[in-house]
Amino acid sequence: MVPTAYYLILAAMLFSIGIGAFLIKRNVITIFISIELMLNAVNLTFVAFAHMWHQVNGQIFVFFVMVVAAAEAAVGLAIIISIFRTRRTLNVDEINLMKS
């Protein structure tokens, strides 16, 4: 028997690490990876709550999050590839065309 709060705290830890990585990392791909980590942390809370309320709605929500993450990864990686083609770099500090 594990209190649901433990799962939620684990999810909170993963989410905060995701935020930290999102802010610290300078590589576009790694930033994208930390977004995925945050999505996963949120999914864990959904599954824990679904278990707590004995309803599958939370699991359905996770399913939709996965689908959206797949679509997001496809488009995001395509964007990263086209950025790399034009700018020859993956460092977010050097991708500053709009800043003039």
Partner 1 sequence: MQLALFIIFGALALGGALNLLFQRHPINSALSLVVVMMSLAVLYWSLGAEFLAAAQVIVYSGAIMVLFVFVIMLLNAGEEEHTTGSRAAYTVGIPGAAAIFCLLSFVFLSERNALSTSAIGGDLGNGVDNIAAVSAMLFTKQLLPFEVTSILILVAILGAVVLARKEL
Quote the least distance from Cβ 100 to partner 1, whole Å: 17
Rg of the chain in Å (alpha carbons): 17
CA proximity to 24, closest of 12, 11, 37: 37
In the three-class reduction of DSSP (H, G, I as helix; E, B as strand; rest coil), residue 97 is classed as helix
Cβ nearer to partner 1, comparing 32 with 100: 32
Site for partner 1 in 16-75 (CB under 8 A): 16-27, 29-30, 32-34, 36-37, 40, 43-44, 47-48, 50-52, 54-57, 59-60, 62-64, 66-75
Q: Does 95 bind partner 1 (CB under 8 A)?
A: no
Supply the angle between the helices 57-87 and 28-53 in degrees, to the nearest 10.
180
Q: Does 87 bind partner 1 (CB under 8 A)?
A: no
